[in-house]
Chain A
Amino acid sequence: MDVIQTAIKGFREFSGIYNFTMGNAVMLVVACVLMYLAIAKDFEPILLLPIAFGCFLANIPAARGAFYSINPEYVRDLTGTVKPTALLDFFYFLVKSEILPPLIFLGIGAMTDFGPLLANPVSLLLGAAAQVGVFVAMVVAKLLHFSLGQAAAIGIIGGADGPTAIYTATKLAPELLGPIAVAAYTYMSLVPLIQPPIMRLLSTHEMRSTVMKQLRPVGKLERILFPIVTTFVIGILLPPVAPLVGMLMLGNLLRESGVVERLSNTAANELINICTIFLSVAVGGSMNAESFLNLRTLYIIGLGVVAFGFSTAGGMLLGDLMWMLSGHKINPLIGSAGVSAVPMAARVSQKVGQQDNPSNFLLMHAMGPNVAGVIGTAVAAGIMISLLGH
């Protein structure tokens, strides 16, 4: 009899059932909802599916013991000596040690066509205007008693750039990495829902129907010089984001040079996919009940919407101004694409524009502010890190 009791007790302690909490149950449901959204509703499945599964795994107590030991204490330990012990810890270590975000930027660079930006350089200003949400969210976060570093990291969600948000969070507020990454990636997939009402509110039918002049073709020399010059300028002005911008521009140079197609293909396909798997599983894994289910997370999720909304509005308002100044030649809808969710935001501009004028094609025009937004978010993050980082 004793033997059986001991066996049951041992099994209870060994298995996850004994440690299962209500929080775990809630998070498992959240994970299932996210998986449903990814698979059935096609909400950015490339990111959301591995995030959701990582979250699922992290909330099975026994599995967490075997695979995963990230907790707030562990995160703090990382600033000192680190000994990753479980599988997901290694993934997380790659995120924390700033290896993955720059590599993902390398891939993004290899996929990005800066042609629309070079053809219409005024896009860069729209990309800057659409960072307004970063600063609004930061001030609001400070009012909600986050520390200055945390507020800055939360604000960067408004840039709508996942890798930059994660990079900033690891530098300024590693303890908030999970919620920030989740908020950033969730809202990126919700861009088609969040943006259109704001875009319609801040423009008239006449503005939205504006047909823009076809973009001029951009020569090869310009395309090759742009990444080199930009790397130099950003690197010398804002050293903290030199790794991010440098990798972005290297990827783009590989693409535009035309002589290293193999490297550029690898960066744009296999490499970025591998990095995305590690990054998203690690981010999902940081969503365990103990560190995720609290008021702070709710604040961050809420602030994410504020940041996104204000960024969209900022881009739209400058777009409106440009529409007036240009003599009704620039469609303000491309301004909202200044949030850097590439290419989702540009697609939204296209769709909203086509509703008002079916034969209008804004997609390529919107790509200019869209890629400018990536640079804008990186610059904003660089200033935050250089002023607040230790």
Chain B
Amino acid sequence: MKKILQLTLGIITSVGGFLEIGSVVTAVQAGAAFGYQLLWAILLGTVCLIFLVEMSGRLSAVSKHTIVDAMRERFGFPFFSIVTLGIVIVAFMVLVAELGGIGLSLQILTGIGFPWWAIPISLVVWLLMWKGTFSLIENVGSLLGLVTISFVVAAVELNPDWSSAAHGLLPTASGDQKAKYGFIAVSILGASISPYLMYFYSSGAIEGEWDETYLAMNRIISGFGMSFGGLLSMAVLICAALALQPRGIDVDKFEQVALLMTTALPKWGFFLFAASMLFACLGAALEISLAISYFFAQGFGWNWSEDLSPSRDARFAFTYTIIILLAAVPLLFGVDPIKVTMMSMALTSATLPLAIVPFLFLMNDPIYLGKHRNGWISNSVVAIIILISFVLAVISIPLEIMGG
């Protein structure tokens, strides 16, 4: 029974991790600018993520260490500190974007500008972490996150040409606008393959006291959970391809994204969109704050656990408190969350090797995994996809900057 309930870990990791402002904005931009042509990027990202998340769970269940524990112990503090710096900086930017996403959702619902929401939102996020337990965050997040199924409903309502859509699952070189195509592809990959997801999932496995008997469940969770997220992203892209592209609407601002479901679901589309964004970004904000704090706490050997009250893991609690407060600051100054989103997604892609290469080493280490080490398929799939992301990022990001 407990194992079945663990399925919720997969769903929230997916909804909060996969479907958040990054994946929505990139999918909408892709659909609006290129129709179905970038579905392959979402597929590639999802496949890679399924492998990575499964590995994260396997590492923790077998070695009883989190990824961060193992990274410091296996590679030593100096290397660990470089990886931490890179990952934390990018993750922090994504956190700012997520809080901004919550703010923008509230803005379109109430008319009150998102900078005004920055402080109330951080307080709520902080309170949930302060008083909540890991299971509370998991379960409530999963349930609320289910409202995002409305994207799938909307996509179906719009009556897509499914065979054209299927063609989008294979990469095609776009005609003109190559730089933009490449940049959006890179951003989709960065939005899908977010390292913070892995640290969150790995810590969740330790909180849930997983052992080798959980390995099969782990595969099911990562497979279904991440596929669910991937499906949602594809639905968003399809909605944009049908609702926005034919009208020539290219997406720059959140207000335009909000029109995604108004034609497909006239009565509720707008509100379902706002609610979906609100809950998905909230889930992501919680996950990222936790993931960053885990990096510090597990890396330095502090007590950490969402199930402990804050006075029992004081340094961990202090860390996430500071992080959430700092993340609100750019929003207070009116920094555009959409711009932060696009930048952080591309940067995630560019810094993926930093997170994934050491991780792959760990996954092949007999000390941590014994007979459960990676097979050649897992290694190859991940290595190839990360290489693709990195190369695309190195080419596209400068091109996009140059191209204005």
- Pair from one complex: no
